[in-house]
Amino acid sequence: MSRPPVFCTCFQAIKMTIPMTILPPALRLCICSSIILLLMAGSQYSVRAQVNKDSVRRQRNQISRTLEDFKLPAKSVFDRAMPRYPNLWFYVDARLVRSYDAAVKLVTGNLRKAMRLREFYGPFDNAEGCDFEVRLEHLQPWEVREQRALQHSHAFHMRYYFSALARQGLDQVKLGERAYYRFGASVHYEVEHTNPNHADVESCPICGRTGEYANLKGNLVELVHDPLGLELVLSGRIRGETVRFEDWEQREVGSIEALKQRFTIRQNTFPAQAGDKNTLRIGVVVISPK
């Protein structure tokens, strides 16, 4: 069993500086007993450190294997006006906050600051059953002389869903040995809202059915806009390219990654499009104390 270097150094120093044979028997016994106690304390320290490491490793493995491990609720628990299953889920370690409301504010408040999100609380033309939504407009302008009628900038759009979970007692769940507050969001990236082509331009190389999404058949929002929005909020990129604000500063839009300054953040992205999960991918963000 390994011992902290300080104890080994201490023992060696005593052996080198004090010939044990010249000391009285009682003093030799006292010194040896002290060394044994120090070594035992060092061994216990090593065991505790290893146990803590194993516990953290075990906890991480317990909550990051499959989408099913996160025990997501059925789509039917939400308002019928919600057209698609939330493609982003936040799990907040209950050690960080004292209530569900505080957990929601921890995530939404920190994301608002990190990405400079504008919040909308309604009334909405089409709320899709959400509690409130956030937007960023005029991102990544697509400007092509050959297709002036179709050119446009883009919008990042996210709707939060949490009150339905609270009403039905589904706002908290245990993952492994820990309790977490959780809520969902529907996030997508599309033609900006003030453009007459909102929300779809199939041929757009940024938000259209192009590139890795070119051969996907079906609803454009579920198969393209949703995964693009998920990519942005998780990484600050769209199709691998860093997204920046269209102003003189060209600051990066940012992402959930900014929260790593204050919390331990773990991300997982899983394939969906099965059962009631009518979206291409689902992302899960687990937020824990540092």
What is the enclosing helix (H) or strand (E) of 116? none
Query: Is 256 in a helix, a strand, or coil?
Result: helix
pLDDT band at 65 (very low <50, low <70, confident <90, very high): confident
Domain boundary among 40, 57, 74: 57
pLDDT digits (tens, 9 = 90+) for 85-104: 999 999 999 999 999 999 99
DSSP assignment of 206-232, as one string? Answer: TTSS-GGGTT--S-HIIIIIHHHHHHH
Domain co-membership, 181 together with 244: yes
Provide φ and ψ at 282, rounded to 5°: -125, 130
Other residues' Cβ atoms within 10 Å of the Cβ of residue 283: 23
Do 150 and 235 share a domain, yes or no?
yes
Distance CA 30, CA 24 (A): 10
Same-domain pairing of 30 and 121: no
Of 39, 57, 75, the last residue of a domain is 57
CA–CA gap between residue 238 and residue 265 (Å, rounded): 21
Residue 63 has pLDDT above 60, yes or no: no
Task: Label residue 69 by pLDDT band (50, 70, 90).
Answer: very high
Say if residue 123 is in the same domain as residue 238: yes
Does position 107 have pLDDT exceeding 50, yes or no? yes
Distance separating alpha carbons of residues 216 and 218, to the nearest angstrom:
7
Query: Is 68 in the same domain as 133?
Result: yes
Structure tokens at 76: 């039917």
Burial (CB count within 10 angstroms: exposed 0-12, middle 13-18, buried 19+), residue 266: middle
User: Is 76 found in the same domain as 14?
Assistant: no
With a CB cutoff of 8 Å and minimum separation 6, the contacts of 144 are: 150, 151
Which has the closest alpha carbon to 186: 256, 115, 131, 243? 131
Report helix, strand or coil for 72. Answer: coil
Q: Which residues of 102-139 are buried (b: 16+ CB within 10 A; e: fewer)?
A: ebbebbbebbeebbebeeeeeeeeebebbbbbbebeeb
Does residue 154 share a domain with residue 19? no
CB proximity list for 19: less than 8 A, separation 6 or greater: none
In the beta sheet, which residues pair with residue 120? 133
Which tens digits make up the pLDDT trace of 215-242? Answer: 999 999 999 999 999 999 999 999 999 9
Residues 37 and 78 in one domain: no
Distance CA 84, CA 188 (A): 11
Q: How far is CA 132 from CA 44, 123, 186, in A?
A: 52, 10, 11
Which pair of structure tokens corresponds to residue 15? 């052996």
Q: Residue 40: what pLDDT?
A: 65
Token pair 């491990």 in the structure block, residue: 69
Q: Are residues 22 and 148 in the same domain?
A: no
Tally of structural domains, the chain: 2
Q: Are 52 and 67 in the same domain? A: no
Note down the domain range covering 139. 63-288
Encoding tokens for residue 58? 């075990």
Q: Are residues 31 and 80 located together in one domain of the fold?
A: no
Distance CA 15, CA 146 (A): 86
Amino acid at 249: E
Average pLDDT over residues 164-191: 97
For residues 103 and 47, membership in a common domain is answered with no
Residues, the chain: 290
Domain boundary among 20, 37, 57: 57
Residue 158 confidence (pLDDT) above 90: yes
Mean pLDDT of the chain: 87
